[in-house]
């Protein structure tokens, strides 16, 4: 019997390339493994991804860290909205 479990990737945030990179940095600082999905599209055609649209850059984390990552993303979003 194999007791090793594989964590599945789960989307914790989506947005423009610069927002996704910022969130990625925050999660890495919290020692959460993270990668960006669709970052090529977000870099080449940023107007297509603006506002988390169909081509948004997605921030992916292992499902085992999803709750912790969600708290960090929620804090980030709260701080961004407070400034606007």
pLDDT by residue, tens only, the chain of 84 residues:
444 467 899 999 998 888 999 999 999 999 999 999 988 876 676 666 555 556 688 999 999 999 999 999 999 999 988 866
Spatial separation of the C-alpha atoms in residues 81 and 68, rounded to whole Å: 20
Count of domains for the chain = 1
Assess if residue 2 is contained within a domain: no
The pLDDT assigned to 74 comes to 98
What would you report as the CA-atom Rg of the chain, rounded to the nearest whole angstrom? 14
The pLDDT assigned to 41 comes to 72
Assess if residue 77 is contained within a domain: yes
Assess if residue 4 is contained within a domain: no
The pLDDT assigned to 3 comes to 45
First to last CA, the chain: 53
Three-state secondary-structure class, residue 17: helix
Domain containing residue 38: CATH number: 3.30.70
Task: Determine the structural domain holding residue 34 and report its residue range.
Answer: 9-83
């Amino acid at each position: 019997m194999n007791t090793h479990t594989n964590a599945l990737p789960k989307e914790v945030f989506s947005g423009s390339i610069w927002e996704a990179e910022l969130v990625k940095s925050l999660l890495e600082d919290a020692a959460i493994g993270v990668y960006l999905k669709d970052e090529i599209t977000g870099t080449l055609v940023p107007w297509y991804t603006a506002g988390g649209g169909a081509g948004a850059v997605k921030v992916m984390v292992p499902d085992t860290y999803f709750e912790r990552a969600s708290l960090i993303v929620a804090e980030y979003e709260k701080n961004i909205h407070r400034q606007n």
